[in-house]
Structure 1
Amino acid sequence: MKVPQAGAVAAVIAIALTASGCVFGDGDQGDGTLAIGIKFDQPGIGMRETDGTFSGFDVDVATYVAKELGYKANKIEFKQVFSNDRELLIQYNEVKFVVASYSINEKRKEKVDFAGPYFVAHQDLLTRAEDRSINKAEDLNSKSLCSVSGSTSAENLRNNLAPKAGLLEMGGYSDCVVALQESRVDAMTTDNSILAGYAARKGNEGKFKLLGQNLSNENYGIGVKKGNKELQRKINDALKKMVADGSWEAAVKKNFGANYKYDPAPAITPVS
């Protein structure tokens, strides 16, 4: 899937905001609510359920941070973000911050600042349960693979791990799961935390398998507007408190299951 040009996306967002009269101040809404960007289609991470409620580790982290910033849960407005528009929604004040399996890297740090990291995931592969032909990343060079446009996982596979793999880039991970189930691709790749959530999702039990390949280290951060050091520090303080009082570990176990092998909470990078 071709990623829209940044200028075109920015123009669309700007026009939409102007037309609706909703140009927000750093994600603070006029009615005292707080806009936070999350994923809507990642079980265990950020999921909009059929009844309109939200679940997942990132949702729990975002809710905890918002509470520390003075916002009760009923004052949070969760907004859907995709991997290729997170920076734009921060830059155009559509959200105050983004908590969306947002891996920290140097390219992204040119456009936004990050609080955290608050979690370490590892890129892995998900295949159909009956497939025995894929056991490691190199096996994908003769296979077809699905990932999401704008994700670090797609870049890593294309550039380093399996450059000859046929790569299908979709708009969301749920699309990749459907493509994998329908045998339109042989595997999908992203962070193990996300893949584990899909594999354990009700209705998917026994259909897929996680290969357990630690193909990269993904440090999840909370994206804030470039230069907003005060907010960055406040979020860091909230994350430290979440770890210290046990809420972080409780959220990990609740959302990923007792058998998920997770790294300890990472050291938070001081704001410079």
Structure 2
Amino acid sequence: MVTLHRPGRRLVAAALALTAAIPLLGGCAATDSILGKPSLVIGVKPDQPGLGMKSGGKYTGFDVDMAREVARRLGKTVSFVDAPSARRETMLQNGLADLIFATYSITPQRKTKVSFAGPYYVAHQDTLVRAAETGIDNVRDLRDRKLCEVTGSNSWRRVKEERKIPVELVQSKSYKTCVDDLLAGRLDAVSTDDLILAGFSTGQTRIVNAPFSDERYGVGIRTGDIDGCEAVNTALTEMYQDGTARELLRKWFAKSGLALNFDVPQFEGCG
């Protein structure tokens, strides 16, 4: 029989403690993932017709339907919360939402703060003007015009910073407020994703139908949840392949006149 000296016993004890801790560490990692939760809190827009609208405590829209179906395919129940543009990152970082489905375009800047599954749709930025407006037919015509700037949105940057078009920015908290200001004559144009504009388009407004960017709608997810991200991507792929995504796009936007894309989008990497 070999008798361990005291240093040897310490090493053995340390090794046993480490071995015992490994399953516990794995369990903690699993509970941090959306896959370890029976129910998901998903952030959506409450004020974008056709995408995310809240009325009487009930949420409806394309983003809402997509989010609900992804949760179902993951075997989760779901509840929805408002996700204003300016708060999307902090909601994920602070655990106030497990996923964000809220016209959340994937950008390099945002990827430094959160991760993205998807995109679940690729929209295109366009411009909404008053129906009687005859001087704006494309983004270049916005020169020296009043353009809406929504807090937390990057759409105005595509005009003023990326294309160097000198516009006068009018700040707003939401696109609904933008459209109200447009109709009231307080600004000249609203430029953002065509799906958003389609929801607000009425007889008093028109979309100029001159798209100038790709807006890749991602599913916001906490940084580091690779397993959860990959599971969401699997669910989205299935939804395009079995026609669910096509059905939902037609449900909400068939009457808009937009050319809808029913192909599976090229996903971001989850690593």
Decide: shared fold, TM above 0.5: yes
1:39 aligns with 2:41: no
Contact 1:27 1:93 (8 Å CA) reproduced: no
Contact 2:33 2:228 (8 Å CA) reproduced: no
Q: Can you give the 5+ residue segments of structure 2 that lack an aligned partner in the other structure? A: 1-30
Taking the aligned partners of 2:103 and 2:240, their CA distance within structure 1 comes to 18
- Describe how 1:22-171 pairs up with structure 2 within 5 A: 33-49=39-55, 51-71=56-76, 75-161=77-163, 163-171=165-173
Contact 1:128 1:208 (8 Å CA) reproduced: yes
1:174 aligns with 2:179: no
Number of the residue aligned with 1:231: 228
Taking the aligned partners of 2:166 and 2:266, their CA distance within structure 1 comes to 36
Taking the aligned partners of 1:135 and 1:147, their CA distance within structure 2 comes to 20
Query: How far 1:267 moved relative to its partner?
Result: 2.2
Contact 1:140 1:165 (8 Å CA) reproduced: yes
The superposition leaves residues 88-117 of structure 1 with CA deviations (integer Å, 9 ceiling, x where unpaired) of: 100000010101101111111111111011
Number of the residue aligned with 2:259: 261
Q: Secondary structure at the match of 2:196?
A: helix
Q: Secondary structure at the match of 1:252?
A: helix
| Structure with the bigger percentage of helix | 2
The superposition leaves residues 175-211 of structure 1 with CA deviations (integer Å, 9 ceiling, x where unpaired) of: 0010001000011111001001111xxxxx3110000
Larger Rg: 2
Q: Can you give the 5+ residue segments of structure 1 that lack an aligned partner in the other structure? A: 1-24, 200-204
Query: How far 1:151 moved relative to its partner?
Result: 1.2
The superposition leaves residues 212-239 of structure 1 with CA deviations (integer Å, 9 ceiling, x where unpaired) of: 1212111111010001101101101110
Letter in 1 for 2:93: Q
Task: State percent identity of aligned pairs.
Answer: 37
Contact 1:57 1:251 (8 Å CA) reproduced: yes
Normalised TM-score (structure 1): 0.82
Query: How far 1:269 moved relative to its partner?
Result: 3.1
Letter in 2 for 1:103: S
Contact 1:146 1:170 (8 Å CA) reproduced: yes
Contact 1:138 1:162 (8 Å CA) reproduced: no
Letter in 1 for 2:103: S
Query: How far 1:245 moved relative to its partner?
Result: 1.1
Contact 2:32 2:225 (8 Å CA) reproduced: no
Matched residues, number:
237
Contact 1:99 1:222 (8 Å CA) reproduced: yes
Number of the residue aligned with 1:194: 196
Normalised TM-score (structure 2): 0.83
Q: Which moved more, 1:31-40 or 1:102-111?
A: 31-40
| Structure 1 residue runs of 4 or more that deviate by more than 3 Å after TM superposition | 25-28
1:244 aligns with 2:249: no
Taking the aligned partners of 1:248 and 1:213, their CA distance within structure 2 comes to 25
**Cα–Cα, structure 1 residues 211 and 222, in superposed 2: closer, same or farther, change >3 Å?**
same
Taking the aligned partners of 1:27 and 1:234, their CA distance within structure 2 comes to 11
